[in-house]
Structure 1
Amino acid sequence: MDHVPSVILGLCSYTHDSAAALLVDGELIGFVEEERLSQEKHTHEYPRRAIDWLLDEAGLASGDVDAVAYNFRPIQYLLESPAALGLAVSATTRNRALPRAAGFAKVAVRTQRRLQALGRSFPGADISSIPHHRAHQLTAFAASGWNESAVLVVDSLGERQTTTIAHAHRAARPIIRTVESIKDPASLGYVYGAVTEHLGWHRGDEEGTVMALAALGDPARFRHLFARAVPTTSTGFAVDPLYFPPRVLASGYPRTSRRFIDETCPERHLSEPLQDVHQDLAAALQERTEQVMLHLARRARMITGSRHLCVGGGVALNCVSIGRIVEGNIFDEVFVPPAPGDAGTAIGAAVAVHTDSGSQKPVAGVARACYLGPSYPDQALDLTPYPGLQQKTLSIEVAEFLADQLAHGLIVGVFQGRVEAGPRALGNRSILASPLQPGVVERLNDAVKFREPFRPFAPMVLAERAEEFFTLGQEAPYMSLASGVTDNARKHIPAVIHANGTSRLQTVTSSQNPFMHEVLRAFARRTGVPVLINTSLNVKGKPICGTPAMAIDCLANSGLDALLLEGRWVTR
């Protein structure tokens, strides 16, 4: 790169969770996942809508883009091909050696072609490929706002890496040095996804369902199996191919072995009823995941010496594991960015190009920012396709009105401000309900979200009163941490406590989200409890509603009582 780029487009595309981010002169203009605009959950399509919105927001055209940062580096895939041939030495893995080598080579070529396609779309821009875990690291560290921390990234696969420990410093720009890494086929994300699939849910989407199911099971039944299948080592962990055969980047290669099936249970079809064995298998998987994550966190503390930890990658979405790290008092504070999965690497990739360019301008707009997508403050609502719906513009204090409706038992969708980054609704695209209403969890699961009855709902709480109900001991602004609860919570708000005795809470400050902070205060004045149930504005199988049309459709096709959409009250 022979010049310092002023307009950098960061992309996650062509795999899953497509997203785009835009940096202009080092400042983050915005970030949005394509699914929030296309209505296709986990879409792998080129994020055209996201890019168009970002450029329009900045008043730019595609020809103004100086650099495009892509979140994978093709050569790293290619390096795995010769290594994969080493699997031929063992009888256990011999049949995977050649297809694994071929699969990684094929993905390397495919990724290179994607870079070339980006070059054709942006002929005036430099196209950069960023190592996947570096993009994760920069996303997490830049979002933390800290000057120094350890950075732990755990996912399924980033080219060859599955786990990295890095030490990050912020001078004029972020400096991140990877000090230890674990390569595939040792992958915690791979194992969790394999068991998710084995239990009948979609890998890469419904791992959270398995985490919820785990609370109902007894891990003792399969504890020793997972200790053998995922043993810890002095520098991390390994995966036994007798239980989880090495990954092949092609369809038709099961992720669990015949031995795993024989020692656990047959694969479950989604239509089949859940049995105790499924709950116990989920419980043992979750327990082992927590143990390995704690082990990795202690390793990060030891080799970096840092008192702060950032966690990124898909496994960072396992909020119970992150909560265990916090409770372990290994670090003074643990931080997970709002978009720790692959979508968020669009931000990290852009930050990497900005950093590598030698620009002296610090990255701005990333630290502690989560409301980064489009907003629709003045868009007219067309209710013609929904004759049963009606709207009125609220002329009273909106926060007080909403709190009153919630206190009287209504379940309300909220659509306000900019779309959240990441998979958690944080008050701008949320469904809210009172945790004090009898049967509210059952109603939300059965009539609003249409999902499994064992899945819990998360609380949002005034940050200044969180310790009255939750034992976490630090802020949790992005609903990324599972916390223990107090006797006060058990007495007053059991609806937000999962079977494992934890809650995945969101703490809300007046600076983070002034409107939701005022709603919580108003609700507390009416009920004495500064806590609301907060779940995402969508139904099962659909993405969080990113546009007014999506929100109206959600109201019309679910059991929501009302929708508060930018100061307008929409009801049946």
Structure 2
Amino acid sequence: MTADVVLGLCAYTHDSAAALLVDGHLIGFVEEERLDGVKHSKAYPIHGVAWLLGEAGLSPSDVTTVAYNFDGRRYLRALGQLPAQLRQPASRARAVPRARSFTTVHRRYQARMRDLAERFPRARLKPVSHHRAHALYAFAAAGVDDAAVLIVDSLGELQTTTTWHARQRNSRLKLDLVHSIDDPASLGYAYGAVTEHLGWRRGDEEGTVMALAALGDPARFRDLMSQAIRLTPDGFTLDPALIALRVLASRYGRVTPAFTAATCPPRTPNASVEPVHADLAAALQERTEQVMLHLAERARRLTGSGLLCLGGGVAMNCVSAGLIAQAGIVDEVHVPPAPGDAGTAIGAAAQVWLNVTGRPPTGLRHHCYLGPAYPDLALPAAPRAGLHASRPADPVRHLARTLADGAIVGLFTGALEAGPRALGHRSILASPLEAGVVERLNATVKFREPFRPFAPVILADRATDYFRLRQPSPYMSLAAPVTELTRDQLPAIVHVNGTARVQTVTREQHPFLADVLTRFGKLTGHPVLINTSLNIKGKPLCGTPDMALDCLTESGLDALLIEDWWVTK
């Protein structure tokens, strides 16, 4: 019997990725940037697709369906907004360029479908609504039976914010759209607009603005931000007099002259960061948190579910997600490991399978280590000029002791994780007890802004000693208040706002890292490490051994443990 082979794709826009289902089982998932070395790669994921098909022993001609993570036909709905936008003085000048830009994106979508048809001439092409792909992945990854699903991003066709009710009974899954907010009301667009105004790359460095917000006073621009992003009974809206109407072309700015006049001139990327920038970031972050809490409360009311799954780019705002978890709006908050657009490659494939069978795919619940692995890696004694490789007899003991002695070590082990945050397979680890470790990490290893904090990783059964967590946080998705113990003894992992973006680890989830934490705890008294992604600023997380060795040679890392090989300079 011929296998049902569904290839899910996120491609041609940003965060290119691929996922493969064979008879409803997830073979794997990989983000192209981690194989081609281009951060936020928008290329067709040629390397990722080749790896997936190789893992399954298949060829392109075996693919029966290609599931694409956008339904480009829906972009034309924006044309129906044109008359109202022409009538509104604040949006009139952009109304026609906006309509044209959505038509252009529709044409590009048609070209993408032709490209996919040429690559897979025997496969059906199935476009999937972007937010549905987000929602299905967020729910299926959570491993629960009933949940509200809240997707908040910049734009998916015309949707920006959607609420769903997902239920699974007797292996059958239903995902019902409960409420939708369309562009131009977009929280992701607004956050990206201010990120760009503050001198960082939108779609990439919103997390930097979130970190900067803790240093500022939101009161300075609170009223302005409340006007720019207005709460409504069913969600929120944007004021086009401050946040300019979206046009899908990079030459159109996102904030208006009125916004600039009321805040500050645009900051250039290399300019110093002033108090006004921190204050603006603080007001933006505060308003984002208020909107997200409002949306979460509505999702609970609309669905009646005590569990909430978050997805979309704004779900990566761990402070907002943490506040929802702490507020008690729902019993638990679940954020998948890849909540951004890359994860929609899984969601698109899952939707195609769901359409045919009514069932979710297998191999997805609670899984994040889905990419390439290199268990048989062999290194020469000198893998690069100036590097030395050896094999310690006990890698756990050796790594824990070296970390306790103050070294900063890269870790490359097992299958590549999904998502933007280090989950222990492609990580940089350091002791939070080492004086000046945050300054050293930012200045000489990651090459990033000095105010950015680092996340801790801890054994799950010790988490409540150090963090005020109401639930597990396996994917480093929630910022939680720290305890007095952490504040007193581990200040390196405490951000200015008194929180930390914690990752909890169980032995079942990650036996090697759990053993390292246990050993480190015996040596130091604290089973807690700093965990940040194995990369330097401007480059993607290291998906291949060569990328990891590059990271060692190009940064201030002291050593790299790569599949039981200990590599030093």
8 Å contact from structure 1 (residues 435, 496) kept in 2 = yes
8 Å contact from structure 1 (residues 314, 341) kept in 2 = yes
**Per-residue deviation, 1:4:** 9.6
Structure 1 runs (4+) deviating above 2 angstroms are 171-174, 379-386
Correspondences of 1:384-533 after superposition (within 5 Å): 386-395=384-393, 397-533=394-530
Correspondences of 1:52-91 after superposition (within 5 Å): 52-91=50-89
In structure 2, the partner of 1:374 is 372
**Per-residue deviation, 1:496:** 0.4
Residue identity in the other structure for 1:401: H
In structure 2, the partner of 1:568 is 565
8 Å contact from structure 2 (residues 380, 389) kept in 1 = no
Could you tell me how far apart the structure 1 residues matched to 2:159 and 2:39 are?
26
Could you tell me how far apart the structure 1 residues matched to 2:186 and 2:363 are?
32
Q: Among 522, 525, 535, which residue is 1:538 paired with?
A: 535
Could you tell me how far apart the structure 2 residues matched to 1:135 and 1:180 are?
16
8 Å contact from structure 1 (residues 4, 358) kept in 2 = no
TM (normalized to structure 2)?
0.98
- Deviation string for 1:410-460 (max 9, x for gaps)? 110000000010000110000000000111111111111110000000000
**Per-residue deviation, 1:385:** 7.2
- Deviation string for 1:444-480 (max 9, x for gaps)? 1111111000000000000000000000211000000
Partner SS for 2:211: helix
Structure 1 spans left out of the alignment, 5+ residues: none
TM (normalized to structure 1)?
0.98
**Per-residue deviation, 1:5:** 6.5
Could you tell me how far apart the structure 2 residues matched to 1:332 and 1:213 are?
30
In structure 2, the partner of 1:15 is 13
**Per-residue deviation, 1:74:** 1.2
8 Å contact from structure 1 (residues 381, 548) kept in 2 = no
- Deviation string for 1:312-368 (max 9, x for gaps)? 0000000000001011100000000000000000000000000001266x5111111
Correspondences of 1:201-350 after superposition (within 5 Å): 201-350=200-349
8 Å contact from structure 1 (residues 5, 67) kept in 2 = no
8 Å contact from structure 1 (residues 351, 363) kept in 2 = yes
Partner SS for 1:262: helix
Could you tell me how far apart the structure 2 residues matched to 1:223 and 1:4 are?
60
Could you tell me how far apart the structure 2 residues matched to 1:191 and 1:439 are?
35
In structure 2, the partner of 1:104 is 102
8 Å contact from structure 1 (residues 4, 357) kept in 2 = no
Could you tell me how far apart the structure 1 residues matched to 2:141 and 2:380 are?
37
8 Å contact from structure 2 (residues 381, 390) kept in 1 = no
Could you tell me how far apart the structure 2 residues matched to 1:89 and 1:423 are?
41
- Deviation string for 1:190-224 (max 9, x for gaps)? 00000000000101000000000000000000000
Could you tell me how far apart the structure 1 residues matched to 2:76 and 2:473 are?
39
8 Å contact from structure 2 (residues 534, 542) kept in 1 = yes
Structure 2 spans left out of the alignment, 5+ residues: none
Residue identity in the other structure for 1:25: D
In structure 1, the partner of 2:132 is 134
Partner SS for 1:291: helix
Q: Residue 270 and residue 332 in structure 1: after superposition, are their counterparts in 2 closer, same or farther (change >3 A)? A: same
Greater mean alpha carbon deviation, residues 481-490 or residues 107-116: 107-116
Could you tell me how far apart the structure 1 residues matched to 2:201 and 2:559 are?
31
8 Å contact from structure 1 (residues 11, 70) kept in 2 = yes
Greater mean alpha carbon deviation, residues 375-384 or residues 480-489: 375-384
Greater mean alpha carbon deviation, residues 187-196 or residues 351-360: 351-360
- Deviation string for 1:510-555 (max 9, x for gaps)? 1100100110000001111010000000001000000000000100
Identity %: 59
**Per-residue deviation, 1:239:** 0.4
Partner SS for 2:357: coil
Could you tell me how far apart the structure 2 residues matched to 1:148 and 1:137 are?
13
Could you tell me how far apart the structure 1 residues matched to 2:380 and 2:294 are?
53
Partner SS for 1:30: strand
Residue identity in the other structure for 1:228: Q
Could you tell me how far apart the structure 1 residues matched to 2:166 and 2:405 are?
48
Q: Residue 4 and residue 190 in structure 1: after superposition, are their counterparts in 2 closer, same or farther (change >3 A)? A: farther
Greater mean alpha carbon deviation, residues 196-205 or residues 111-120: 111-120
In structure 2, the partner of 1:159 is 157
